[in-house]
Structure 1
Amino acid sequence: MSGYFSYPDASLQEELKKTAEAIVVPGKGILAVDESNEGIGKLLASVGLENTENNRRRYRQLLFTTDMLSENISAVILFDETVYQKTDDGTSFIDLLKKKNIIPGIKVDKDVVPLYLSEDEVTTQGLDDLAQRCAVYKKQGCRFAKWRCPLKISEHTPSVQAIQDTAQILARYASICQSQGLVPIVEPDVLLDGDHDIVRTQKVTEVVLAAVYKSLNDHHVFLEGTLIKPNMVTPGQACPKRNTPEEIATATVTALLRGVPAAVPGIVFLSGGQSEEEATVNLNAINNVQLKKPWALTFSYGRALQASVWKTWAGKDENIKKAQIELLKRAKANGLASVGKYQPGDVTTAAGDSSNYTKNHKY
């Protein structure tokens, strides 16, 4: 009958569903190592190192060679360069991760550009050659992808234009990924920038989620083979009123219940510039809030898993083991938080309480 459609064939559906579910198994989450060369260059400069391909490789090697990483990390998001990098002994990073039973994934958006005729809003580029790139990444061993669309709250934003643009782009991305056998992680990122309160953040998040899932449905995306990476519902960075983890948890889960279908296997939160400890405590509160939670609620953290690693490593080989211990401690804390069993303050790391906020953050 005309007007009807079918999802991907049964075997592809099963593959996508299994991968999505494997990423959000209880007690585990995602390590995001998908900074662009420019983004990681700023971090390298902070520890006195040049932004060279080898220095970028050395840092990523530190993370991926960490013993027992897979105890609380189910998957890693890579940057294009990282897909082809190797350890000192010639083992490809992807093969190393697979041996550790960690699922490799890839950031596929090509960052943001100004959204024409908007009030300082942006759109994310990279759809043109996405199918070909996804096919290559799948052949290299990646099993999922990530695409970020940031949205800013101000007096007049996010605009209807920006919200609809985000929804359409994320849906096109997700459908293309699934056509090539990759699980899409959909990331509508409502930014921390601003002085708005938590009520405003919740409303904006609900409107964005509704638009995104309407568009995913319109594009025939198989929801059981997807994950979503949203912001937690928190007040703006400059808001004078700070909310408790319990208030953040209630606002976050309420917004998700109103916008994310139960068919989605899991929600993998971004840390959004929160400190390491804040991101862990808030995730723990989210998992303990007394509301329906039909999805796994876990983490996909970059800065909130690595701030202490950078501080401890400081670019020196003699600090590698110490830096790896910091990574394991934070991964363990978030693993516990993802099942609601973290006790605030139980884990102390080198940069645990330091802010990771950056205005207009770019990866």
Structure 2
Amino acid sequence: MNSAQLDRMHSGKGFIAALDQSGGSTPKALSQYGVEENSYTNDEEMYTLVHEMRTRIIKSPEFNSEYILGAILFENTIDRKIDGQWTADYLWEKKNIVPFLKVDKGLADLINGVQLMKPIPDLDELLTRAVEKNVFGTKMRSVIKEANAEGIREVVAQQFKVGKQIFQKGLVPIIEPEVDIYSADKEKSEEILKEEIKKQLNLLDNDVKVMLKLSIPTVNDFYSELMLDPHVVRVVALSGGYGQEEANEKLAQNHGLIASFSRALSEGLSAGQSDDAFNNKLGKTIKDIYTSSIT
């Protein structure tokens, strides 16, 4: 584990850029960027185009360590290069931005009001590659749609079980049990979720470090208690479908909670924009998210 990266993630000012759209969400991300599905004919062409989009974001002078602490990448991205360097190395060596890797394989079907992660059969091999590519940590997502205590318990237990495997490889896992922002009982789900997270944190060995990525809570500062746990490097928030402005407003009301936004980060960016227009839009977005993250 890179101690300089750990210190930066624990105490640095800024937020995490989520650039980890995977196979299922890549066409939508490209479409929002102005690249339609008729622009590519197979997965390799699609991934090349999305890497070009991510490269444009990462290489922008506005995408810098003054505002951004880390960036979450898709598996295909860590195997590609920017200006001759592996993407993770470029982020850290050129930008001083900590690289993370999305490791989950998507969501299972809805059972007990939740969607667990699908099995990750090649996880150990993927983690080995991540270490070789100088990745600092990982991210994996589950979804909670109902305040079902049994389902939420299963989600958190699965997340921490896999998280411990990840930490044993020398990586810091981002535990992401997302609560659906449109859930009818979102606040109740968050209450159950926090208690289950606290139980799992109490079971960890003293040296284990994790990060938490959670939906912006219904009750402001609801996760402040988790930020004080010695196992927790940082608590970050997903935008969860909120638009950029609303996500920033809600985030700003939660002290110590920093952003890890995907859609809200790339909103308004387009392949057809000039470099000046692209950088200006990205710069404004980054500064707005940063301001909301340092409250």
Match among 11, 15, 23 for residue 9 of structure 2 = 23
Specify the alignment match of 1:299 in structure 2: 259
The Cα offsets for residues 254-308 of structure 1, whole Å up to 9 and x where unpaired, read as x324656532232111111111111112222222xxxxxxxx4211111111112
Kept after mapping to 2: 8 A contact 1:171/1:219: no
Look up the equivalent residue of 1:144 and give its one-letter code.
G
Aligned counterparts, 1:236-255, within 5 A = 251-253=219-221, 255=222
TM-score, structure 2 as length reference: 0.87
Specify the alignment match of 1:337 in structure 2: 292
Match among 220, 223, 228 for residue 256 of structure 1 = 223
Per the TM alignment, residue 120 of structure 1 is displaced from its structure 2 partner at its CA by 6.0
Aligned counterparts, 1:50-69, within 5 A = 50-51=39-40, 52-69=46-63
**Does 1:212 find its partner at 2:197?**
yes
- Structure 1 pair 60/216, CA: closer, same or farther in 2 (3 Å)? same
Specify the alignment match of 2:122 in structure 1: 129
Q: Which runs of 5+ in 1 are unaligned?
A: 1-11, 235-250, 288-295, 341-363
Larger Rg: 1
Specify the alignment match of 1:73 in structure 2: 68
Match among 77, 99, 103 for residue 104 of structure 1 = 99
**Does 1:230 find its partner at 2:214?**
yes
Match among 277, 301, 306 for residue 245 of structure 2 = 277
Match among 81, 84, 96 for residue 86 of structure 1 = 81
TM-score, structure 1 as length reference: 0.72
Q: CA RMSD in A?
A: 2.3
Look up the equivalent residue of 1:42 and give its one-letter code.
K
Q: Distance in 2 between matches of 1:168 and 1:232?
A: 21
> Residue 217 of structure 1 aligns to a residue in which SS?
helix
- Structure 1 pair 213/130, CA: closer, same or farther in 2 (3 Å)? farther
- Structure 1 pair 221/193, CA: closer, same or farther in 2 (3 Å)? farther
Look up the equivalent residue of 1:275 and give its one-letter code.
G
Per the TM alignment, residue 23 of structure 1 is displaced from its structure 2 partner at its CA by 2.0
Q: Which runs of 5+ in 2 are unaligned?
A: 41-45
Per the TM alignment, residue 203 of structure 1 is displaced from its structure 2 partner at its CA by 2.7
Q: Distance in 2 between matches of 1:258 and 1:278?
A: 24
Q: Distance in 2 between matches of 1:25 and 1:324?
A: 27
After superposing the two structures, state which structure 1 stretch, 44-53 or 25-34, moved more: 44-53
Q: Distance in 1 between matches of 2:35 and 2:122?
A: 36
Q: Distance in 1 between matches of 2:134 and 2:141?
A: 21
> Residue 165 of structure 2 aligns to a residue in which SS?
helix
Q: Distance in 1 between matches of 2:76 and 2:149?
A: 35
Q: Distance in 2 between matches of 1:204 and 1:222?
A: 29
Match among 108, 114, 118 for residue 113 of structure 1 = 108
Kept after mapping to 1: 8 A contact 2:153/2:196: yes
Q: Distance in 1 between matches of 2:119 and 2:228?
A: 27
**Does 1:37 find its partner at 2:4?**
no
The Cα offsets for residues 138-183 of structure 1, whole Å up to 9 and x where unpaired, read as 1111001111111003xxxx32331121111111121111101111
- Structure 1 pair 299/66, CA: closer, same or farther in 2 (3 Å)? same
> Residue 141 of structure 1 aligns to a residue in which SS?
coil
Kept after mapping to 2: 8 A contact 1:23/1:30: no
> Residue 60 of structure 1 aligns to a residue in which SS?
helix
The Cα offsets for residues 175-233 of structure 1, whole Å up to 9 and x where unpaired, read as 11110111111111100124x3xxx433321211211231343353745x221111112
Matched positions, count: 284
Kept after mapping to 1: 8 A contact 2:114/2:152: no
> Residue 272 of structure 1 aligns to a residue in which SS?
coil
**Does 1:183 find its partner at 2:143?**
no
> Residue 240 of structure 2 aligns to a residue in which SS?
coil
Per the TM alignment, residue 127 of structure 1 is displaced from its structure 2 partner at its CA by 4.1
Q: Which has the higher strand share?
A: 2
Look up the equivalent residue of 1:169 and give its one-letter code.
Q
- Structure 1 pair 203/34, CA: closer, same or farther in 2 (3 Å)? same
**Does 1:162 find its partner at 2:129?**
no
Kept after mapping to 1: 8 A contact 2:21/2:29: no
